[in-house]
Structure 1
Amino acid sequence: MWVVKLGGSLLGSPELPRWLEMLVKISDGKVIIVPGGSVFADAVRVAQQRSGVSDAMAHHLALLAMDQFGLLLTGINPHLVTASSELELAERGWQHRAIVWLPSKMVLADDAIAKNWQVTSDSLSAWLAHKIGAERLLLVKSKPLSDYANSTSVLLQTLVQDELVDSAFSDYCLQQRFQTYVVHKANYAAVEPILSKRRMEDVSVATDHVLLVDY
């Protein structure tokens, strides 16, 4: 099972529909898409600044923002289906569908998850990967990865320092069994042959365009 986090910054880019088309094509119930918050989360930040509501309330609203972006993805590609619980995730997998996770229900039910802006869709994608026993987590980023152009791997702490992931991300990755990869949004073609592998032992550790994250 793969968890693929599509950053909200992909909205409006030509790459987003191409990612969705590719994931629908190869998913076979084995890929779960985690949506970012996109413009909906930006609106929550503005609303918090203007209203002064607590971080806990903003966290709740940001989760609903992820739900909204997830629903929007199904509007862009109607072959996607949504799931908001472990049972629904399993059912959509049995149906061999391409799945978009709507996180608010599951995340709000876990009091151990910090309710602040340090926990974003990056950390929640890692939380989900652990929750469902996924083997791989892939983060699709809009921010250029040119600083790592000559590498096939990158240190987790480097990603945090470079603000490519949120500050809580390492807490959700360390001592977990899944492997984590980072790829730029333009490199969907490099990802397709990796995700389309049906046996995990056939998956290469990294390519020229897909970075393995070292914990």
Structure 2
Amino acid sequence: MDAALQAPTSVARASALPLAVVKLGGSIVRSGQLAGWLEVLAGVERPIVIVPGGGALADEVRQCQRQLGFGDSTAHRMALLAMDQLAWAIAGVRSGFAVGVAPEELREILQRGLAAVWAPSALIAARTDLEATWRLTSDSLALWLAGKLGASDCCVVKSATVPRGSLSADALMGDGVVDEAFSAMLAETAIRTTIFGQGDEAVLGSYLAGRSPAHASVVA
């Protein structure tokens, strides 16, 4: 297992709060919500690693797979590249965010007082311990990364309205909110996982700052 990423202690973003991984669903780009979420994350004085979804770019991979007929392993690599592209887009439209791949790169970004944005393809594409199908997408990869980095939290952000309370990962999977591997990955990593939806920007900011609990938690 990769060495755990420790939160820096001497930078503006550092605090008594531990590292959190935040998964930003690609759907929030299509819905025009991305800027609001980034505004909240930029203001949080806490070590944060952002995992972007593939969004419309991943949808294009699905369409291309249907048209050309290549296998899921190829589609998986292409979808990882879609996540890379959105990572660079996030860092390109907002100051205070920088792209990293490996744990040591993410650590260096956090030590500079920035939020890290994960571009996963170079780290993930050749791994044989992760399923290379559409069952495992950026949702499960966010949990996987949180486990590798020793993060205390994985916060999943979606564009749709999210119910309140304790939510079953299996139920969310059945509703198409998270991918099919999410429940097993949550059970494996045992990371505290919360989910946020449309209109929850302030809720996420308050939760990450340690001021209030999340409105919706996810259990395996």
TM-score, length-scaled by structure 1: 0.88
Consecutive unaligned residues of structure 2, counting only runs of 5 or more, are 1-18
- Of 93, 99, 102 in structure 2, the residue corresponding to residue 85 of structure 1 is 102
Contact 1:63 1:103 in 2 (8 A): yes
Tell me the SS of whatever aligns to 1:112.
Answer: coil
Distance 2:32 2:56 in 1: 17
Q: CA distance change for structure 1 residues 104 and 15 in 2, over 3 Å: closer, same or farther?
A: same
- Work out whether 1:21 is the aligned partner of 2:35: no
| Percentage identity across paired residues of the two chains | 36
CA deviations over 1:81-123 (Å, ceiling 9, x no partner): 1111111011112112111100111112421111111111001
* CA displacement at 1:205 relative to structure 2: 4.4
Contact 2:158 2:198 in 1 (8 A): yes
* CA displacement at 1:14 relative to structure 2: 4.1
Q: Which residue of 2 aligns with 1:200?
A: none
- Of 21, 29, 33 in structure 2, the residue corresponding to residue 3 of structure 1 is 21
Partner amino acid, structure 1, of 2:43: K
Contact 1:2 1:134 in 2 (8 A): yes
Tell me the SS of whatever aligns to 2:98.
Answer: strand
* CA displacement at 1:44 relative to structure 2: 0.8
Distance 1:11 1:84 in 2: 22
Partner amino acid, structure 2, of 1:188: E
More helix by share: 1
Q: Which residue of 2 aligns with 1:177?
A: 190
Tell me the SS of whatever aligns to 1:11.
Answer: helix
Contact 1:135 1:177 in 2 (8 A): no
Q: CA distance change for structure 1 residues 88 and 195 in 2, over 3 Å: closer, same or farther?
A: same
- Of 117, 131, 135 in structure 2, the residue corresponding to residue 118 of structure 1 is 135
1:126-165 matches, within 5 Å, as 126-145=143-162, 148=163, 151-165=164-178
Tell me the SS of whatever aligns to 1:26.
Answer: coil
Q: Which residue of 1 aligns with 2:89?
A: 72
Q: Which residue of 1 aligns with 2:12?
A: none
- Of 201, 213, 219 in structure 2, the residue corresponding to residue 214 of structure 1 is 219
- Of 186, 205, 209 in structure 1, the residue corresponding to residue 199 of structure 2 is 186
Larger deviation, residues 62-71 vs 100-109? 100-109
Distance 1:95 1:75 in 2: 17
Q: Which residue of 2 aligns with 1:45?
A: 62
Distance 2:190 2:132 in 1: 25
* CA displacement at 1:124 relative to structure 2: 0.5
Tell me the C-alpha RMSD between the 2 structures.
1.5
Distance 2:154 2:80 in 1: 20
Tell me the SS of whatever aligns to 2:160.
Answer: coil
Consecutive unaligned residues of structure 1, counting only runs of 5 or more, are 198-202
Distance 1:65 1:15 in 2: 19
TM-score, length-scaled by structure 2: 0.86
Q: CA distance change for structure 1 residues 5 and 27 in 2, over 3 Å: closer, same or farther?
A: farther
Partner amino acid, structure 2, of 1:211: A
Contact 2:31 2:159 in 1 (8 A): no
Contact 1:205 1:212 in 2 (8 A): no
Aligned residue pair count: 202
Larger deviation, residues 42-51 vs 32-41? 42-51
Tell me the SS of whatever aligns to 2:194.
Answer: strand
User: After TM superposition, what 4+ stretches of structure 1 lie above 4 angstroms from structure 2?
Assistant: none
Partner amino acid, structure 2, of 1:152: G
